[in-house]
Structure 1
Amino acid sequence: MSDPDAEFRAALLEIGHLTYVWTNTESLLVHIIAGLLGCDKDRALLVYLTLNTTRARIDLVERLAKSPFTPPAQRDLVLEATRRLARLSGERNFYNHAIYAFDLEEGAISTIQMRIADRGSEVKLGRRQPLDEAAVRDLREVIASLSQLNQTLWQLIRSQNFPL
């Protein structure tokens, strides 16, 4: 028998860890922007902070990478990394943009996605998913993937001599 309170505390701890690892990893785009624009890190930071969504930041980096000023080998490295980051952003968004629901009778805790699916003549509210041991395992896998991507980004930044 599982302990919903302990599972919830474990999940919250992992969600906090996910937020930390995500922010740390996404911020590495500053160095890539600096390298692709040929400017210093401080100017790239202004650009990064002006773009207020992950999607906008990834779009900028991908467009810079695809520009004729970027060597093909460098382009390919950058695009591989941004595609991984974009895939992982869905996992991060799942937990950061959810409502957490508590079943007082069973003690179960679940996430409810803050999305409305507008399908023809129906409206469906956000998908509900249990926040249990399996969810905590999934969170840990996402965190491990982000940590690997973080290392990959640092290798890319150093190998391409992007501003540190």
Structure 2
Amino acid sequence: MTEIRTPRLILRRWHDDDLAPMAEINADPDVMRWVDDGSVLDLDATARAIERWEEEWDEEGFGLFAVELLASGELAGFTGLSVPGFLPEMAAEVAISWRLGSPFWGQGYASEAAQATLEFALQDRGLERVVSICRVGDEASENVIRKLGMVPERVTTHPVYDFPLGVHAIDLTEYEA
């Protein structure tokens, strides 16, 4: 089982008891504001999402980690790697992403988890390059992307919702520099 520990977090595969707290995160309009069309997800949709995330782990050798606070054992959300299949032009890439519940914002958890995930991608999984795709204007995510050392590559348009998406990237040589 893949698990990463940081000073304050455990990044791990999903457990059955993660469903309710992740569904609560996905049901928060503030959390979902920058995701797709901003719609919240219910318990069933969250269960299907976790199932897809676990399947990606089995198929790709990477996926979205559950992010657990080391001190309390609370589920804070997720961070991890996925193939951004929703954007056909990026289907050959691996993207890093994150989603934390609003009580966990502003404490550096997203950056801490994303940094550990980026290291996992480039050093453990041997990826040569990682991208991040973020809705233009999502300043909190753009801040995490900058902290990761990712550089803007281009702006594209979401194929379904027709809003601008910023594509950022880092490759192994930039990461090691």
Calculate the TM-score normalised by the size of structure 1.
0.30
Which has the larger strand fraction? Answer: 2
Rg larger in structure: 1
Q: Which has the higher contact order (CA 8 A, sep 6+)?
A: 1
Calculate the TM-score normalised by the size of structure 2.
0.28
Which has the larger helix fraction? Answer: 1
